[in-house]
């Protein structure tokens, strides 16, 4: 059931330690590649969130056998091979998940059968032309809805193999890059994808791991068609985007002291750590190790007096999902923080610039909103007002404002917290272990009391 509001009691403490929950981006990609590989893949530490489960359900509808072992967070996927997917008799429902719909579009554009990909209300408002237009250039036949090439996406049976193209992606999007590289597995010739700035490179590591012929030259990635991909046994690193909520919560709390283990710190993705350090954060990054091309580490964080910074357009793609949290941190800092070049935030699960501006103003923060960013005048030592925050049905907006309770005078009520399960199903369990007192609008089953 969607529509649950949660109220968080104000508290200036955040202490504890936990193992970082699995990475969403890597879980999606690993499942899709395992499905089209030859043989049985075992994915340990897979994220059982609604978004990743949507990917698994779509793959099952396409004829892939998948066994879930929830107690051990493991998924076993019987790969059907590159040519082994079968037409789904019903539309593929991608729920709230942009990664599911865009990445699967790349694979399905290359199939000799038709597919319809659809999503929930939020996903149906998001731009899909960024993947469907280049896929059409490769020869796919695809229909979308007006305006802005929205879902449902109808993909018609491919009559002749996709042609390789060199595509310069106009937006810094890892989803578009991944979708086109996946299509490139099936194209005739070498497909090249150039992004305007660095995006998360999980697709490259995983494609290489599964045996694809892929190379990178600065912002351009090239892939040649594969004869087959080989099944893998993989361990999925922790998701920095999930850890980041508690990292910022601990930083802004008066008494914050937190350790998170096995966090993915892939440098194409860890902009938030660099930017928080620039703001004066006390972060200790220890036990760094590399697993299947991905760096992980343990992160220790303590409360700190933060100061305002400039977040430049070139920083944006390195911390795209963490920008709401950086705006929250900036609201607690001394001085001014400027964010520019972040217009992509307007087409995420919600318009995140609008959602953050409305929510922060409710909490008493003074800010100026622009089409591509925001200037925030930090409250420094003052605390947030409490109040009712509209999450705009967006998991990351909801979790960001729940963290604001570590710096608030009054309770904060956040709408539609059910969406948190799209990326971080154990968020409230962990939050309570870290000292959060949570109640629902129907009496508390979650309260610590």
Catalytic residue among 315, 321, 390, 394: 321
Spatial separation of the C-alpha atoms in residues 152 and 335, rounded to whole Å: 45
CB 45 to ligand S3P: min, Å? 17
In the block, which residue shows the tokens 């104000």?
10
Other C-beta atoms closer than 10 Å to the C-beta of 216 total 11
Check: CB of residue 337 under 8 Å from CB of residue 311. Answer: yes
Phi, psi of 68 (to 5 degrees): -105, 135
CB 204 to ligand S3P: min, Å? 12
Please, which residue, 201 or 437, has the CB nearer to ligand S3P? 201
CB 339 to ligand S3P: min, Å? 16
| β-strand pairing of 191-194 with 166-168 | parallel
CB 54 to ligand S3P: min, Å? 13
Please, which residue, 121 or 443, has the CB nearer to ligand S3P? 121
What does the longest C-alpha to C-alpha distance in the chain come to?
A: 64
Check: CB of residue 152 under 8 Å from CB of residue 116. Answer: yes
Catalog residues that contact ligand S3P under the rule CB under 6 A: 25, 99, 173-175, 178, 200, 320-321, 344
Spatial separation of the C-alpha atoms in residues 75 and 117, rounded to whole Å: 23
Q: What is the per-residue DSSP string for 76-124? A: EEEEE-TT-----SS-EE-TT-HHHHHHHHHHHTTSSS-EEEE--TTGG
| N- to C-terminal Cα separation, the chain | 25
What is residue 396's three-state secondary structure?
helix
CB 320 to ligand S3P: min, Å? 5
| β-strand pairing of 115-118 with 150-155 | antiparallel
Please, which residue, 212 or 434, has the CB nearer to ligand S3P? 212
CB 421 to ligand S3P: min, Å? 15
Spatial separation of the C-alpha atoms in residues 71 and 64, rounded to whole Å: 22
Give buried/exposed letters for 221-243 (b at 16+ CB in 10 A, else e): bbbbbbebbebbebbbbbbbbbb
| β-strand pairing of 387-389 with 336-339 | unpaired
Q: Is the peptide bond before 147 cis (omega within 30 degrees of 0)?
A: yes
Please, which residue, 25 or 415, has the CB nearer to ligand S3P? 25
Please, which residue, 139 or 238, has the CB nearer to ligand S3P? 238
DSSP code, position 421: G
CB 410 to ligand S3P: min, Å? 31
In the block, which residue shows the tokens 């194409």?
268
CB 404 to ligand S3P: min, Å? 21
Name the closest residue to ligand S3P (Cβ): 25
Please, which residue, 48 or 384, has the CB nearer to ligand S3P? 48
Please, which residue, 25 or 115, has the CB nearer to ligand S3P? 25
Spatial separation of the C-alpha atoms in residues 2 and 235, rounded to whole Å: 32
Please, which residue, 200 or 393, has the CB nearer to ligand S3P? 200
Question: Is 239 designated active site?
Answer: no
With residue 149 as reference, give the H or E element that holds it.
none
Catalytically active residues, by annotation: 321
């Amino acid at each position: 059931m969607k529509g649950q509001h949660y109220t968080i009691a104000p508290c200036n403490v955040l202490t504890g330690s936990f193992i970082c929950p699995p990475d969403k981006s890597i879980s999606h990609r690993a499942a899709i590649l395992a499905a089209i590989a030859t043989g049985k893949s075992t994915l340990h530490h897979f994220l059982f969130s609604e978004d990743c489960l949507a990917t698994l359900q779509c793959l099952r509808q396409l004829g892939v056998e998948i066994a879930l072992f929830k107690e051990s967070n493991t998924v076993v996927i019987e790969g059907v091979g590159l040519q082994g997917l079968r037409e789904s008799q019903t539309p593929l429902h991608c729920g709230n998940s942009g990664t599911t719909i865009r990445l699967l579009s790349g694979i399905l554009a290359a199939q000799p059968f038709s597919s319809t990909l659809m999503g929930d209300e939020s996903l149906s408002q998001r731009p899909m032309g960024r993947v469907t237009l280049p896929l059409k250039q490769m020869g796919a036949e695809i229909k979308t809805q007006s305006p802005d090439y929205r879902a449902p996406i109808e993909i018609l049976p491919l009559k002749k193999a996709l042609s390789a193209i060199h595509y310069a992606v106009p937006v810094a999007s890892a989803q578009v890059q991944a979708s086109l590289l996946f299509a490139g597995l099936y194209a005739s010739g070498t497909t090249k994808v150039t992004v305007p700035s660095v995006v998360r490179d999980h697709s490259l590591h995983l494609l290489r791991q599964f045996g694809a012929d892929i190379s990178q030259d600065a912002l351009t990635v090239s892939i040649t068609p594969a004869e087959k991909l080989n099944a893998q046994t993989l361990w999925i690193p922790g998701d920095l985007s999930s850890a980041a909520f508690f990292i910022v919560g601990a930083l802004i709390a008066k008494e914050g002291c937190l350790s998170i283990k096995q966090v993915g710190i892939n440098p194409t993705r860890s902009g938030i750590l660099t930017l928080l350090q620039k703001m004066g954060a006390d972060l200790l990054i220890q036990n760094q190790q590399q697993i299947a091309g991905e760096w992980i580490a343990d992160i220790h964080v303590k409360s700190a007096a933060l100061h305002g910074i400039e977040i430049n357009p070139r920083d944006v793609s390195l911390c795209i999902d963490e920008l709401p949290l950086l705006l929250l941190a900036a609201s607690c800092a001394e001085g001014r923080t400027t964010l520019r070049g972040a217009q992509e935030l307007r087409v995420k699960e919600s318009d995140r610039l609008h959602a953050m501006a409305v929510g922060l103003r409710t909490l008493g923060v003074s800010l100026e909103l622009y089409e591509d960013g925001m200037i925030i005048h930090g409250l420094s030592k003052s605390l947030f007002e409490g109040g009712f925050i509209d999450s705009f049905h967006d998991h990351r907006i909801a979790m960001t404002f729940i963290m604001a309770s570590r710096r608030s005078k009054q309770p904060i009520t956040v709408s539609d917290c059910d969406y948190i399960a799209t990326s971080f199903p154990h968020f409230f369990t962990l939050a309570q272990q870290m000292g959060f007192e949570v109640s629902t609008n129907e009496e508390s089953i979650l309260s610590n009391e």
